[in-house]
Structure 1
Amino acid sequence: MRPSFGEIASSTRNQIIKNQVNGVIPGSSLTIFDVEGGLYLLYGSAGTGLLSMMAARAMGDEGKVTACESYLPMVKLMKKVLRLNGMEGRVKIINKRSEELQVGLDMPSRAHVLVSEILDSELLGEGLIPTLQHAHDNLLVENAMTVPYRATIYGQLVESTFLWKLHDFHNNEATVSDSIRLTPPGLDSVLGIKRQQYAMHVNPLQEEITLLSEPFKIFEFDFWKRPESYGETELCVKATNDGRVHVVVSWWVLQLDQEGTIYYSTAPRWIRSPTITSPIGWCDHWKQCVWFVPGSGISILQGEEIRLLATHTETSFSYNFDTLVPTTKILNHRCMTGDFQLVLPPERAAIYADKEWRLSMLKAVQSMVSYSNSFLCHMIEPFTYRLLCLLPMQMVCHIVALKTVLRDLMMNICQNRASTHNIVRQQVRDIATVLPLSALSPKNKEVDLLIAEPFYVGHDGMLPWQNLRFWRDRTTLNDILSEDALTIPSKGILRACAMSLPDLWKSRCCLSSIEGFDHSVVNATLGACGHLPELEEGPCLPFFVWQCGEFDVLSETFDVMEFEFSKQICECHGKSQVKFTKRGVCHGFVLWIDWVMDLQNSIVISTGPDRKYWKQGVKLLGTPRTVDPQSLTSVQPCSAVVEACFSPLKGELKIILDFL
């Protein structure tokens, strides 16, 4: 992974690491090996040279540090930082992965100290184990000192309806009263999420979750010795409350020194530990991890015990349960659909089983098809095949599939849908057919209905308006659309509100001096937002606002501009005045698109910050502004203007913020 602003700017983290680096490096006689970047490492702190410079400074004037970084742009950036701080002669940068280093070629001798930060939220995902293995085998002296000294994984059993909905699509769908099954018999696993841990801030969910166990230790990794590639442990966990185990929440604790006096933890805020003396606070780069228990979870009573088998590979953890309660059933959904398995992000799995979303889609499709007894329907994106289930069975529909691999799947869906309506399978091809796009003639303008969610697979990190790719696709297909072709959605509305976002703003603020080292040259490369020079503008960031730490809404929601999908894509402008409703510090504006699904503007799917399944766009201010709706003083701004311009060529949105 590439560097994170929040990681570099975390004063607590930097102070702890600096103190420990100073503690393990007593003089200049040691060879220091700073593992940086490579295939496995690192976030921005080492990638920019911070750890290397800390180590070099701790060794005195004669100390030398060898650092490796395989990502060439980071090598160039690190050289700029070293030059700016007069350290280019003290730190040797090698443009290689750490496992490619050789003693005698890249290093004069084996190193006595390993300073590393090969950590992601899961601990192992950045390649901690392979990197330590190679370092101990090839680069370090025996009994070398390491920073950190040890890492420990802890876990806790949790009940959470919200987290359950993020993964158990099949059982959640069964609770919806629309009688539509997007995973019909025989295709139960056609939709699902990947079986893995997911990084997530669980603190915002504290009020709605039930803790079902005390925290328990799972694994321990000693940096000072060679780790094993695979490990497993069996735990017996006692329930502290009645409930249903939906997830295992896990976190790690770093012991930085051998004596066990300095610790750093990613534990949730409800965990109290006497060894963790410094509050970490919110950070975007390290979160807790969530492992979803298959199906609807495991029912358990207070005092009962459940067996947990935890395993780790070189890069990940996994968990399996064996309950001591014989009546407990654990649903284990396996992928048995081959090429038809469609892997979803957890938020999409929750959306597709959401009653409100499904009702909106059902009403929109029914509203559109009511204009004709027969139509040709074009699905913009492969995932939209699910909307087949929403089409009235008495309607004649022909589905145009962009990707041939999904045609058989679409027909399978049609056949399953037909069987639930007592329609003979042989009749299905008279009712619904799946055609390649090449089968359509531009001369005939055959397509009557164009459908998109819109959501594009593999673009989970996109800004909301980047889904307007749907509009560009609609324009590309204009030659095959009938004169009065209908679209779902029919319109998009860009909406916004002002917010206080202190944690997020701080994590994206321009860097200057970090532990005494000038980092100002990294701001442009890493995308700084706060305290930018007057003529520079920071990027708009895609975030789940509820995952951004502390936040507060300071204004009414307002419309910025509209996108009319019945027309071809075009440049759009919009401007709106902001009316603040609460006194506070405004750090920026949150923007999103509400999708109008029908011609009557009565069916709207909102993706605003109150909807946890959707990401919003966050435009941070260069300088936070104190706002007051009452205009108690003449110096406090009480309103602002937000102006936006959408470019159809680049698909980008330019946002201009002006306080009055």
Structure 2
Amino acid sequence: MFIKHLNLVLTKHYRGFMKSVSPMNIFIQKLNPLTGTNDWVIQNEDYDYHQEVARSAFADMLHDTERNQLYERALKIAIETMHSRGKPANVLDIGTGTGLLSMMAVRNGADKVIACEAFLPMSRCAKKILDLNGLQDRVKIIPKRSTDLRVGVDGDLNEKCNILVTEVFDTELIGEGALSTFAHAHQHLLENDCIVIPDNATIYAQVVECPLAQNWNNLKDIYNDDLEQIIQVPDIIKNCPGSAAVHDIQLSQLPYTSFNTITAPTAVLRFDWSGKTPFVFERSTIQTLKSLRDGKAQMVFMWWELQMDIHAQNILSCAPYWAHPNSKSSLTREIPWRDHWMQAIYYFPQEVSVKTNQEVHLISCHDEYSLWFNLSTSLKLSDKAYINPVCECGLHAAFSRTRIGQLNNVKRNKNYMKIFEEHIDENSTILFLSEGFYFGLVASKLGAKQLYFLDTNLLSRRVLQQFIKHNNIQNVIVLETVDDLKKADLQDVNIIFGEPYFTSSILPWDNLLFLYLNDSIKQLVTGNVKIFPQKCIVKAVAVKFDHLHKIREPLGECEGFLMGDFDQLISESSNISDDLVEAQPLWEYPCLALSREVKIAEINLVNDYHSLIETKGRIDIEWNAQCNGIALWVEWNLNNSPKGVVSTGPTEDIVLGKEIQWDKYTRQGVSLFSSKSIDFVTYQFSFNFKEGNVSFKYS
């Protein structure tokens, strides 16, 4: 009935919407994470284009003052060096973006500047910015990839250049194709005695033991309060080498006490962009190191630095604060902030126990686009030690790092255990509406009569079935679709339980999909059914972010150059493609509380949820600081008790003017805006069950 009703609603809206669709809009199907169905929505015909522009991260990079200034200093040195050789300074700027580096080259005396940018919205924008700054005749913009450029009379360049400036790096350094970009440029676009900015790069790795980070990688067995093992992780999952995929993270936000340093930071890989040595696209190195202390070597923390100029006078480091060359103390975080270049964690295929002063051998590998690491206490290494690890159990393919950490969250699981112990007996037949909730198998161990799991995600369903088989649980039926539920005999179901969690969810309230699934099966169950959770409470707080707001902050100007056209481009595309609320792991982005927490809305998950829920109010700014964001989260009240709350928000009480401690195993919602001195923020919230829509607006 639910699906039929939803289709009727969609058909009605389709007919109404089509009358108002402008020639610039199109009508498409889009997954609604709230309902789990594909909705018909009106969308700008260039939506994908605008989304790519809005999320291009150029603004974040241009707010990085240190980066900008180090690039300019290196350009100045390169141009002066060419002139001292009696040669004109002919600059090639690969991936120019807004044209900032090209304009810097002109300002520092370049004789000729050619810039290429394959992303057409940006190449057009760069031309407007050159016009705005009166440099349209000094820089030639070519809307192509550098690998498509040709040199010659009829080519894009009349002659080869002798200075290359480019920024083609990501958190992994080489993930955007830096190796092939530099190699092609040296072979086809640059003179032999050219100068390259940056000149070279070095990757650093630090072997650590970090139980907090390991929670994002390995699942743990489940124990009760008496430390008796209830559910065991299958061997195939315990012994899985995991995934080599980079875990990019703001390492500086990890508590310094949360990890044990096994080795000091070590230079493990060097990349020479200057062309003086051959480019190597696949390589392995081994560093023999002494362990600083006893512990379990679980992973490496990784970052890199760029030597910007040929004299090594200007170094750009992406190190966390405890290893940063410019940090005044290992206990301070006063270093340049970057979100475009973070640090990374790479997990070892297996933990290695080490003793103080023991020799360990760190293996560092890369191919053209990615890195991976391993560790051994012996130099007798098999070929397997160098192989890029691949998940063999399905867990690391099924779940994000955040989700794995969530499954290991002891506090969260204790709340579920308490509900189980209070309500489950030998007459309990339980239906779980969630994905990958293997903790639910505890119910069988507590004596439940029958368990049903509706898990519509193929990969998480396979992981769940591995747990069922390994723990020899017989009274479980796993269902794939709502239609399978309808075919099953659910007359005896007397408990419906959800975490809730679904892989399609992005914003905190998207897990209200539990409500829709529950509503769709109400006619399939009879009698008195207990439903958990019973309420969804939406909360908000006004904040002052230290840095996160910069990813949406207009530039105005950058290093003395006007950037109005760029700001307009980003703003227009963002208005078309972005929602007011986006998801971010706020524990990585420090912010001060400027208001008390405000309850925005309360949604009853048991009854009365069919009515339109609309609320409005204000968030009063009670701390004297400029506001640049509103953070939002939900609390799932399992049993209408203050002690039965599973929160996706702060882990400690919010204190005005103090840094908020956010849950590390979920993402929160956030609305970002330019810093403002304001007294309050007004808001409007609505939840329309029939249309499957949540809206949060503010002014």
- 2:229 maps to which of 156, 174, 179: 179
Matching residue within 84, 88, 91 for 1:32: 91
Contact 1:368 1:598 in 2 (8 A): no
Aligned equivalents of 1:541 and 1:407: distance in 2?
Answer: 28
Higher relative CO (CA 8 A, sep ≥ 6), structure 1 or 2? 2
1:345 aligns with 2:385: no
Q: Distance in 2 between matches of 1:176 and 1:552?
A: 39
Which letter does structure 2 place at the counterpart of 1:572?
Answer: I
Counterpart residue number, 2:598: 558
Match of 1:246 among 298, 301, 306: 298
Whole-angstrom CA distance in 2 between matches of 1:136 and 1:177? 62
Query: Would you say 1:157 and 2:211 are equivalent positions?
Result: no
Aligned to 1:260: 312
Partner in structure 2 of residue 293 of structure 1:
348
Structure 2 SS opposite 1:213:
coil
How far apart in 1 are the matches of 2:334 and 2:102? 25
Task: Answer whether contact 2:685 2:694 (CA < 8 A) is retained.
Answer: no
Moved more, 266-275 or 232-241: 266-275
* 1:55 corresponds to 2:114: no
1:355 equivalenced with 2:405 (yes/no)? no
* Alignment TM-score, normalising by the size of structure 2: 0.76
1:31-430 to 2 correspondence within 5 Å?
31-36=90-95, 46-59=96-109, 63-69=112-118, 71-104=119-152, 105-170=155-220, 177=227, 179-181=229-231, 183-185=233-235, 188=238, 194-208=243-257, 209-225=259-275, 226-271=278-323, 273=325, 280-301=335-356, 303-323=357-377, 342-365=397-420, 373=427, 375=429, 377=431, 379-381=433-435, 383-384=436-437, 387-391=440-444, 392-402=446-456, 412-418=466-472, 428=474
Query: Offset of 1:260 from its aligned partner?
Result: 0.9
> Is the contact made by 1:508 and 1:528 (CA closer than 8 Å) also made in structure 2?
no
Q: Percent identity?
A: 24
Distance 1:242 1:468 in 2: 46
| Cα shift at 1:308 | 0.9
Mapped contact 1:3–1:47 kept (Cα < 8 A) = no
Q: Which residue of 2 aligns with 1:422?
A: none
Q: Would the aligned equivalents of 1:528 and 1:538 in 2 still touch at CA under 8 Å?
A: no
Cα deviation for residue 592 of structure 1 reads 0.7
Structure 1, 263-272 or 338-347: larger mean CA deviation: 338-347
CA RMSD of aligned residues (A): 4.0
Counterpart position of 2:564? 520
Alpha-carbon offset, residue 514 of structure 1: 0.8
Partner SS for 1:349: helix
CA contact (8 A) 2:456 2:479 kept: no
Deviation of residue 319 (structure 1)? 1.4
Number of corresponding residues: 609
Provide closer, same or farther for how the CA distance between residues 194 and 496 of structure 1 changes in structure 2, counting only shifts above 3 A.
same
Shift of 1:494: 0.9
CA distance in 2, matches of 1:288, 1:407: 32
Which whole-Å deviations, capped at 9, do the CAs of 1:589-631 have from their partners, x for residues lacking one? 32111112235564211111332222222233544337xxxxx
| Aligned counterpart for 1:645 among listed residues 686, 690, 693 | 686
The structure-2 alpha-carbon separation of the partners of 1:273 and 1:468, relative to structure 1 and needing over 3 Å to count, comes to same
How far apart are residue 123 of structure 1 and its match? Answer: 0.9
Q: 1:438 aligns with which of 470, 483, 486?
A: 483
**Counterpart Cα distance in 1 of 2:686 and 2:310:** 56
Q: Deviations over 1:574-595 (max 9, x none)?
A: 3455466655444333211111
Q: Which amino acid aligns with 1:317?
A: L
Q: Is the 8 A contact 1:465 1:653 kept in 2?
A: no
1:136-163, Cα deviation, whole Å (9 max, x unpaired)? 2222222321111111112223333322
Correspondence list, 1:611-626, <5 A: 611-625=663-677
Gaps of 5+ in 1: 37-45, 420-427, 627-636
1:622–1:409 distance in 2 versus 1, CA, 3 Å: closer
Q: Return the alpha-carbon distance in structure 1 between the equivalents of residues 226 and 667 of structure 2.
A: 24
2:223 and 2:114 map into 1 onto residues whose CA distance is 57
Amino acid at match of 1:312: H
Cα distance, 1:321–1:590 mapped onto 2, change above 3 Å: same
Residues in 2 aligned to 1:656 and 1:275: alpha-carbon distance in whole angstroms = 39
